[in-house]
Structure 1
Amino acid sequence: MSLTSLNQLLHLLADGQFHSGTALGQHLSMTRAAVWKQLKGVEALGVNLHRVRGRGYRISGGLDLLDVEAIQRQLPILDPSFNVQLYMSLPSTNQTLMQHQQQRSIHGDVVLAEVQTSGRGRLGRQWQSPFGQNVALSLGWHFYGGAVALEGLSLVVGLALTHALADMGVKQVQLKWPNDVLVDGKKLAGILLEMRGDATGPCHVVIGIGLNVHLMHDDAIDQPWVSLAQLGYQLSRNDVVAQILLRLNEYLHEFVQHGFGAMRDEWQQYHYYQDQKVQLLLPTKCIEGICRGVNQVGALIIEHSGMIEAYSGGEISLRPIEERQ
């Protein structure tokens, strides 16, 4: 579903005020029947539409809608220049960008969705993104040097997110290896990287980010989570997206030039489990020890049984000892 008259209708209703069917029809140059059909489309997106006879329709509380022009106005001339594409609804922003890569270069392409119906996190987890509540963003980037050159990339993206949030006044953000952004141990944002191309040469990476912005309730999420609104921050999603893109541009260029090793110490300053007792859940065993941060390529360092060992990504989960059952 792309930007259509449905988008125009949503912008009219975004103020949270009542609008009669007649007034909506005049604004949209539509018949009442056509307006009614579009209103059904609004509800199909998961938006709660309030109807009152004699007054019309409204979205209680209004909506903070994404706007490509409002985002682009905040971006200076960048290399590459970001090509921002906005959709009303997508199964997955990552999946959409991966499909685009089959036809052309996606370096600098940004895909946003107001609602993401089948978003994925690490280890196959679902990432909930109801309409107009969060940021579901994917950015395409071209790298050289294959998989080895990408070591530590998810950690760098986490750093970029941390600084973007700090730029907007969000404090006490911490990072969990390899791809979570936390506040007080609760998940605020997640990162999912997907690669396509030569394992030893040029490749495209899709950097997927899900950030909880306005979300207040969601019983379907099966882990501790928090949103910017719950933390007391009332931020425009357009401002949030623009700041994320600015920081991603900065950190990705630094990563290409210097690698993760140049940012390792900075990452560890935000590490939630630094020098804490943890469980490392591997496919065939569970290791308990002290988390000593990460090495120069972003592998997790665990001290246990008198040894210090490094563990890379894959089917690995990290937990505090206190969560043991």
Structure 2
Amino acid sequence: MESTRKRLIRLLDQKEGYISGQELSEQLAISRTAVWKHMNELKNDGYEIEAVQKKGYKIVSSPDKISGNTLQWGLDTKWLGHELHHYDQVESTQDVIHQMAKQGKPHGTVVIADEQVKGKGRMARNWYSPKGKGIWMSILLRPDLPPVQAPQLTLLAATVLAKMVAERSGLEPKIKWPNDLLINHKKVSGILTEMQAEQDTIQYIVLGMGMNVNQSREEIPEELHHKATSLRVEAGEEWDIQTTIQHILHLLEQSYEEFLKFGFDRVKKEWEHYGYRIGEDVTISTMKRTWEAVLVGIEPDGALLARDKEGKEEKLYSAEIHWGKGGYHA
């Protein structure tokens, strides 16, 4: 259900001129005093609000800083992010939303932080999350799906980030299996999916996204220069983090609903469209052997599909894949 704050923001956003306190009170089914309190909270967030007797309220300007209110202002989702929590600093947005999930927070709850001091990626790797320079976000989902389908949501999220970058810029993003977003062969974003489940039921999924947005090259740690980048570095200009987050949430809700309605096939085709090195010759190494192959695509369970020189296809869940003089561990 849409929160009172979300409905208030929507009503103010729809009205070109003033909207009376009485009208807001009636539309929101709250007292005039409650309307006044909500307006003061918006002012504390940095909104400039003009209040004129016998006319009502009007938003004159919005703050530059990100907050829960500014993120919901203009967010055109039906359910995703209607409960949205913003923090200046957390250890990890994943940890915060895990606690919220256990407290019964609803499907679609979003946690966003300006900074993470203990951000984490896959395989317990650290994720560098500087203040105000990127998107550090975790999303709570409660899908009615069997646990075996959970990896499909990671792949779906990767296509959402790729589509967002493509739609907002002239950049050509690629998805490195299974969950890293690359631009010009360097990592700009990663996805971490964590699940709480029973044998055949998903209790909840936490979908974490970290994206380097406005770091300059100098602000990226020197030891990461050869493999990490930011949207600003690649596009040559700063990005508006607030509208970028809103774009991601809009696309994610849309893609998630299409996935539930039409199945994984659309996600698979889109992932393979953005897939890094798909259709190319690579060298694959596992604990047992090393061989030459072509990356074919992905399987519904999230595995990477490769075809060797004899035409035999193999599903990979963990392998080291090389091309040229470099490589990566997946």
Tell me, yes or no, whether TM beats 0.5: yes
Structure 1 residues 199 and 166, CA gap change in structure 2 (3 angstroms): farther
SS of the aligned residue for 2:232 comes to coil
CA gap of 1:286–1:120, structure 2 versus 1, over 3 A, is farther
Name 1:264's counterpart in structure 2: 268
CA deviation string 1:32-52 (max 9, x = no partner)? xxxxxxxxxxxxxxxxxxxxx
Asked if structure 2 preserves the Cα contact closer than 8 Å seen for 1:108 and 1:141, the reply is yes
Residue 146 (str. 1) matches residue 146 (str. 2): yes
Q: How is 1:124-273 mapped onto 2 (pairs within 5 angstroms)?
A: 124-216=124-216, 217-219=219-221, 222=224, 224-231=227-234, 232-273=236-277
Partner Cα distance (1:221, 1:64) in 2: 32
Identify the match of residue 310 of structure 1 among 307, 312, 315: 315
Give yes or no for contact 1:280–1:316 (8 Å, CA) kept in 2.
yes
Which secondary structure state, in structure 2, belongs to the residue aligned with residue 244 of structure 1? helix
Query: For residues 221 and 284 of structure 1, do their structure 2 counterparts lie closer, same or farther at Cα, with a shift above 3 Å needed?
Result: farther
Distance between the aligned counterparts of 1:277 and 1:64, measured in 2? 47
Deviation at 1:77, TM superposition (A): 4.7
SS at match of 1:143: coil
Percent identity over paired residues: 25
CA distance in 2, matches of 1:220, 1:209: 23
Displacement of 1:173 in angstroms is 0.9
Q: What is the aligned residue count?
A: 266
Aligned alpha-carbon RMSD (Å):
2.7
Q: CA deviation at 1:169?
A: 2.1
Instruction: Trace 1:100-111 onto structure 2 (pairs within 5 A).
Output: 100-111=100-111
Q: TM-score, normalised by structure 2?
A: 0.73
Compute the TM-score of the two structures, normalised by the length of structure 1: 0.74
- State the partner residue of 2:282: 278
Aligned to 1:42: none
Give distance in 1, aligned partners of 2:302 and 2:239: 31
Task: Report the counterpart of residue 297 of structure 2 in structure 1.
Answer: 293
Q: C-alpha distance in 1, partners of 2:290/2:98?
A: 34
CA–CA distance in structure 1, aligned partners of residues 241 and 121 of structure 2: 21
Structure 1: distance between partners of 2:119 and 2:287:
24
Change (3 A) 1:145 1:137: same
**Closer/same/farther in 2, CA of residues 140 and 279 from structure 1, 3 Å limit:** farther
3-state SS of the aligned residue for 1:230?
Answer: helix
After superposing on structure 2, the runs of 4+ consecutive aligned residues of structure 1 that deviate more than 6 Å are 8-11
SS of residue paired to 1:290? strand
Distance 1:303 1:282 in 2: 15
The answer to whether the 8 Å contact 1:151/1:260 transfers is no
Q: Is the 8 A contact 2:220 2:229 kept in 1?
A: no
Residues of 1 paired with 2:84 and 2:170: CA distance? 25
Q: Is the contact between residue 214 and residue 229 of structure 1 (CA under 8 Å) also seen in structure 2? A: yes
For structure 2, the 5+ residue unaligned runs are 1-42, 47-62
